[in-house]
Copies of this chain bind each other. A is one copy, B any other.
């Protein structure tokens, strides 16, 4: 395995870097209480919101819709799920939905992330290659202390993973060959798409991303270049 050439590490964020489910549930709980859905499990609300993520991006990937930022998709999806929880969208001020939509900007990293990224940054360029947009990633990074060198990903590429353009345009911005860039993700599908574009791959399982009953992405499904238990082990393996 030639990984000596790696110069940049690009990271999936939702699930790999931050615990979106707990963070969204935390932000949703007082909202659900206020709007009379207090018997709702706020984690189920987070799951329902997240379930519309892939289909919304697929509208863009398929070409049926021009590229719009993830904040826009999240906001539309939030409005769409309210009736499932007995809340009429017309009964909630738009500003409150805008505020709840910022839950995705305020997610906590897994405990190994900040120390691991800090080590990796000393030797490599580190940047998100997320479907999240620039200000979402920036707000999250400022709040959580994620020491990114740049914010790469969907908004710069104007394409959503796992479309090849998301990876290829990132390589182009980095002016690097594919084997100089390593994709780090907790999702086999993301790594498969990155490998399809020639990138190096690192799998970091996040077995509670989807809560205690998680069944997918518990183990690597290909011989990824690195399979590590957390960002500390990734830093060890990469000599950082």
Contact = CB atoms under 8 A, between A and B. Distances in A.
Interface of A: 71, 125, 133-135, 137-138, 141-142, 148-152, 155-156, 173-176
A221 to B, nearest CB: 32
Nearest to A176: B135
Nearest to A147: B147
Contacts of A150: 134, 137-138, 148, 150-151
* Integer count of this chain's copies in the complex: 2
A124 to B, nearest CB: 9
Nearest to A121: B142
A173 B125 contact: no
Interface pairs A-B: 8 shortest CB-CB: A150-B151, A134-B173, A135-B175, A135-B174, A138-B150, A156-B156, A125-B138, A138-B149
B155 A173 contact: yes
11 contacts: A125-B138, A134-B150, A134-B174, A135-B173, A135-B176, A138-B149, A138-B150, A150-B150, A150-B151, A155-B156, A155-B173
Q: Which of A137, A156, A176 has the most CB of B within 10 A?
A: A156
A166 to B, nearest CB: 15
